[in-house]
Amino acid sequence: MIGRYAPSDVAALFSDERRFDTMVEVELLATDALAELGVVPRADALALRARRPVVDAQFVAAVSEREEVTHHDTAAFVDVLQGRVGEPENAWIHYGLTSSDVVDTAQCVTLRAAMDIVVAEVTALRDALSARAIEEVDTPVAGRTHGVYAEPTTFGAKFALFALQVERDRERCVDARRAIAVGKLSGAVGTYSNIDPFVESYVCERLGLEATPANQVVARDRHAQVLYACAAVGTSVEQFALEVRHLARSEVGEVEEPFAPGQKGSSAMPHKRNPVVAERLCGLARVLRGYLVAGLEDVALWHERDISHSSVERVVLPDALTLTVYVLRQATALAAGLVVKRERALENLSEGTLGLVFSQSVLLALVESGVERDAAYRTVQAAARQAHDEGRNFRDVVVASEEVSLSPDALARAFDLERLLAHRRRFIDALTWTS
């Protein structure tokens, strides 16, 4: 992932140093387990643990140099590790294991740690949206369907519905975190032919993983589930960001992205305050969905394993997890700092719509007065079209219409904004985690 979109804490999880250090720990835990079984002399296991090498840039460079000879990165890693811990105890390194035992188990440790960050960040976004929902529950705004004025809603309802969707994403992320927190040390094709199952249980328990049956590799539907969770998060963020972009348009002007001191909206036009964060989030959501396709294609491998997934995962797994955290943090800042233009929203609702958002209320009032529904619909439709074409207020047209006969009380009720929004707090009540 390019540095622009790579938070340092997540990027560090996927560094070569962190990867090899975790692999070292898997190897040493395996020798500890073998010592518990009496296969490895306990003194040898203790010596290996005492000589645990520091995994730094020099260690990484040594593995890379050795790989030029072995043309096998895990074999190169094992050679370097054996060289660093020294003879004769180093003969026990990688005893009875295959590459995927170490690589997959270490990778799952990393993915679990990354998903811990994702879960924390998706929770933060949910909470930011929830806070704005509570704050704006009484702020009326014109609802739109098909991009056209519909009926009134509130900004609180908008924020609450986004929060509810992100909560579902949080649940998906928790499930994906659970699915990927597994390990396997069962040897070639997974039959424990040269390694006791105790070793797998011992190592996984100490790494906080669940030992799982496998062939030579951990099943890749687990990794695809992680990528789906990331893609779902990106899509929910895109939905929120797209709403911001629409409402920020000049002719709407109901929200505005936070604008920092010294910020420039355009290199050419000083008046511009473009929704650049929202646009960026919409674009990055497309990238996250692309990673999911690659992850799904990695699930089907030949027989007990092939290596076609490996090169893909070296790109998509670090990038997807890193980018997901970036997107979540950007979205949280946007949600928390979004400027809601309450007066402009009310102006659009009352004047911009010409009062047409009350057309259903007038229709129902006529039905209640005894007018047949289709006839009432046609009458209100004609009045609405007249108001639209002549640029007149819908209520004035209704009052002047000879075909509409409503009492003053019925008319007042039909155009009562508070009545239409009387149940707005149901959206807030649905945010059960805030109570």
- Number of domain units in the chain: 2
Q: Which two tokens stand for residue 150?
A: 């519909």
Same-domain pairing of 294 and 361: no
340 lies in the same domain as 362: no
- Work out the end-to-end distance of the chain between its first and last CA atoms, rounded to an integer number of angstroms: 39
350 occurs within a structural domain:
no
Question: What's residue 268's pLDDT?
Answer: 82
Q: CATH code at 393?
A: 1.10.40.30
- Mean pLDDT in each 10-residue stretch from start to end of the chain (435 residues)? 93 97 98 98 97 97 97 96 96 96 98 98 98 98 96 98 98 98 96 96 98 96 98 98 97 93 84 92 98 96 93 96 98 98 96 95 95 95 96 95 91 96 96 90
Nearest CA to 387 out of 412, 415, 368 is that of 415
Instruction: Specify if 204 maps to a domain.
Output: yes
Catalytic-labelled residue, pool 8, 71, 146, 435? 146
Instruction: Give the number of other CB atoms < 10 A from CB of residue 264.
Output: 13
In this structure, the answer to whether residues 248 and 369 fall within a common structural domain is no
- Name which of 189, 180, 181 is nearest 224 in CA terms: 180
Q: Give dist(CA 296, CA 267) in Å, integer.
A: 42
Residue 253 belongs to some domain of the structure = yes
Q: Verify that 131 and 279 share a domain, yes or no.
A: yes
* 243 assigned to some structural domain: yes
427 belongs to a structural domain: no
Alpha helices in 38-181, H assignment, sequence order: 42-50, 57-70, 73-85, 99-135, 155-180
- 58 lies in the same domain as 113: yes
Contact 121, 325 (CB under 8 A): yes
User: Pick from 289, 313, 345: which residue ends a domain?
Assistant: 345
135 with 233, same domain?
yes
How does DSSP classify residue 45? H
Q: What is the pLDDT of residue 402?
A: 87
271 is a catalytic site residue: no
Strand duo 210-211 + 255-256: pairing: unpaired
Q: What is the pLDDT of residue 177?
A: 98
pLDDT of res. 66: 97
φ and ψ at residue 173, rounded to 5 degrees: -70, -40
pLDDT of 265: 82
Q: Is 8 a catalytic residue?
A: no
Give me the domain span that covers residue 402: 356-414
Which of 266, 311, 369, 405 is flagged as catalytic? 266
Asked whether residue 138 is assigned to any structural domain, the reply reads yes
Task: Out of 296, 322, 345, pick the residue that ends a domain.
Answer: 345
CB 204 within 8 A of CB 292: no
In a domain, 432, yes or no: no
CATH number of the domain residue 328 falls in: 1.20.200.10
**Residues 171, 228 contacting (CB under 8 angstroms):** no
Mode of pairing for the β-strands spanning 140-145 and 148-154: antiparallel
